[in-house]
């Protein structure tokens, strides 16, 4: 996805012999788009595909039924009130869903009981709070608050929190990637991209990955779980190389753009997926025209649903929406600043807001779990008190 890496032991040429302790290693090709996309090659001490037993568990415990149809309502879900606990993979709860993307939230205070394999899609996880480690087939990835974590579809991983961790989990059901226009013809990130290769943290390699880690894998497919116990440890990896690997990206490494007047939110695009984009709002200088209005203008997004996850700071266009909350504005319905915020922004020089925005082209449906967290007053919060029609 980003650039090629190589760690540990690999043969000089793919598909050729690699011996360890006089035994032939097993090459495991991990490919995307059949064999036409990014890939990695992992070298195992033992066959990586021998499964001793498996058990059908049923539907993921955090899955929730959605509303029957999309409704033209601006909505606010108090996801900051979730205190579910448990592990990151099994304790997450589904809040919004469409065919392209699932939005989950987790409060993880325990290690995952097994290695995980999400066969339903790539994961882009925003760490709202907490820190810890993720053991993956590519090495150990440290995480901390304000990191994005990218976990490719089906990559083996296990969350181990060092402290309670709150996670916004975006499950891209086709793919998640760097925008193509951020790269040059050679595949490097361009110098005017909003980040550089140096901003991304790769897993730290260790040949002792399997030590003290479970030999069981929890597979999620079509939101159902299967527990598989492997004959050999699935992390008995000698080395790997390739361009498909998990990474961490700190949101504050995103380099925002500012213009003479207000720029559209597309300038904050950070990642793209099949049918959606992910944007990062970070502290920045604002528009510098003498008569500029820095606050976002009222807008009808007739093709996209918009979701904002509020991280910290004073969001110039919103009142009464705190850190850890999700707002949801469906396509076709005008949305814009709360009363008083539009004019109050004139003369501002900077903003300290931080938020993650998701725009989707297919309508989201909130789940039953999300509606239980809903702020019923939000839809009417744009009507100024005392105003007359």
What pLDDT shows up at residue 270? 99
Tens of pLDDT along 40-99?
A: 999 999 999 999 999 999 999 999 999 988 888 899 999 989 988 999 999 999 999 999
What pLDDT shows up at residue 336? 81
What pLDDT shows up at residue 315? 63
Whole-angstrom distance, CA of residue 83 vs CA of residue 164 = 10
Tens of pLDDT along 11-51?
A: 999 999 999 999 999 999 999 999 999 999 999 999 999 99
Q: The whole model's pTM is what? A: 0.95
Structure tokens belonging to residue 364 = 């989201």
Tens of pLDDT along 252-280?
A: 999 999 999 988 999 999 999 999 999 99
Q: What value does the mean pLDDT take over residues 116-134? A: 99
Task: Give the residue among 262, 206, 265, 196 at the shortest CA–CA distance from 236.
Answer: 206
Tens of pLDDT along 143-164?
A: 999 999 999 999 999 999 999 9
Region of poorest pLDDT, from 51-55, 106-110, 337-341: 337-341
Contacts of 335 (CB under 8 A, 6+ apart): 74, 298, 299, 300, 301, 306, 329
Tens of pLDDT along 196-244?
A: 999 999 999 998 999 999 999 999 999 999 999 999 999 999 999 999 9
Structure tokens belonging to residue 354 = 């931080």
Q: Which residue has the tokens 């990955």?
A: 209
Task: Give the residue among 145, 108, 386, 115 at the shortest CA–CA distance from 230.
Answer: 115
349, 287 contact by CB (below 8 A)? no
Q: What value does the mean pLDDT take over residues 187-197? A: 97
How far out from the chain centre does Cα 78 lie?
19
Structural domains present in the chain:
50-63+82-234+245-250 (2.60.120.10), 252-380 (2.60.120.10)
Q: Could you tell me the strand order of the sheet in which 326-329 lies?
A: 75-77, 326-329, 305-312, 354-360, 276-281, 269-273, 176-177
What pLDDT shows up at residue 341? 84
71, 95 contact by CB (below 8 A)? no
Name 355's bridge partners.
281, 310
Tell me the pairing of strands 115-118 and 216-221: parallel
- Which of the two residues, 389 and 71, has the higher pLDDT score? 71
240, 204 contact by CB (below 8 A)? no
Q: What value does the mean pLDDT take over residues 332-349? A: 84
What pLDDT shows up at residue 388? 52
Task: Give the residue among 216, 116, 121 at the shortest CA–CA distance from 156.
Answer: 116
What pLDDT shows up at residue 318? 59
Contacts of 302 (CB under 8 A, 6+ apart): 331, 332
**Concatenated DSSP letters for 91-128?**
S-EEEEE-SSEEEEEEEE-B--SSEEEETT-EEEEEEE
Q: What value does the mean pLDDT take over residues 283-303? A: 88
What pLDDT shows up at residue 348? 86
């Amino acid at each position: 996805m980003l650039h090629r890496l190589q760690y540990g032991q690999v043969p000089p040429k793919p598909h050729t012999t690699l011996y360890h302790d006089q035994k032939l290693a097993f090459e495991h090709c991990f490919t995307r788009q059949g064999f036409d996309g990014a890939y990695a090659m992992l070298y195992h001490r033992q066959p990586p595909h021998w499964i001793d037993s498996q058990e059908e568990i049923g539907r993921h415990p955090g899955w929730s039924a959605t509303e029957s149809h999309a409704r033209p309502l601006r909505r606010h879900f108090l996801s900051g009130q979730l205190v579910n606990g448990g592990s990151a993979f099994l304790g997450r709860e589904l809040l919004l869903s469409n065919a392209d993307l699932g939005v989950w939230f987790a409060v993880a205070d325990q290690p995952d009981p097994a290695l995980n394999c999400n066969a339903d899609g790539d994961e882009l996880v925003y760490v709202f709070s907490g820190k810890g480690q993720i053991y993956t087939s590519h090495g150990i990835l440290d995480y901390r608050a304000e990191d994005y974590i990218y976990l490719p579809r089906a990559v083996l991983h296990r969350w181990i929190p060092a402290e309670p961790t709150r996670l916004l989990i975006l499950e891209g059901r086709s793919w998640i990637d760097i925008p193509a226009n951020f790269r040059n013809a050679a595949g490097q990130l361009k110098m005017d991209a909003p980040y550089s290769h140096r901003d991304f943290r790769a897993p730290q390699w260790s040949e002792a990955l399997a030590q003290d880690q479970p030999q069981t894998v929890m597979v999620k497919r079509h939101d159902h779980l299967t527990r598989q116990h492997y004959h050999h440890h699935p992390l008995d990896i000698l080395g790997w190389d390739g361009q498909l690997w998990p990474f961490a990206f700190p949101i504050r490494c995103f380099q925002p753009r500012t213009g003479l007047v207000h720029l559209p939110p597309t300038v904050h695009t950070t990642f793209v997926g099949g049918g959606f984009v992910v944007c990062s709002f970070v502290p920045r200088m604002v528009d510098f025209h003498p008569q500029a209005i820095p606050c976002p203008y009222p807008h009808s997004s007739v093709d996209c649903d918009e979701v904002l996850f509020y991280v910290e700071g004073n969001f110039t266009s919103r009142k009464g929406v705190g850190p850890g909350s999700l707002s949801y504005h469906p396509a076709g319905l005008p949305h814009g600043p709360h009363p008083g915020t539009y004019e109050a922004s004139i003369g501002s020089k900077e903003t300290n807001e931080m938020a993650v925005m998701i725009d989707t082209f297919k309508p989201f449906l909130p789940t039953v779990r999300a509606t239980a967290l809903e702020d019923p007053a939000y839809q009417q919060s744009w009507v100024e008190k005392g105003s007359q029609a």
